[in-house]
Structure 1
């Protein structure tokens, strides 16, 4: 039971770690689909200025990666050590 919970928490921490960068990559794909032009990090979409503002805001989310990558990596390492202790310590005690 605890092993399954630990594996799920490792997966959640990896998603937490990668999410801001995945959103920034998604913005580039969406800008290409909707034929938006980028000047710096400001997107201009023909016909819908709200979409350009939305893409610009989503594109800036990659800066949260400065915090989430380190925190997610530390949490994943701690959970991996805890998982390995849960799995292998009972074998060494016997």
Structure 2
């Protein structure tokens, strides 16, 4: 979506994806990078939507982590709700 489209819709959040193996390059902050790339830096800070960066591989790679990825995204979008924990994943050390 273009910056004009985002600004015109006035969303509360913009979910952006990044590659976890590329995020730390040059000390880039994914929120600042997305704000600049989407052209949202022309807006005053109080008018900008909240940028929610997510690891694309975590969210889009369907498999045993999918429920946890959706849970984590929902918790980022609605932090004031009391999210019950999901079952543990015994294969994660």
TM-score (norm 1): 0.25
| Bigger RCO (CA 8 Å, 6+ sep) | 1
Q: Return the TM-score normalized by structure 2.
A: 0.25
Per residue, is there more helix in 1 or in 2? 1
Larger radius of gyration: 1
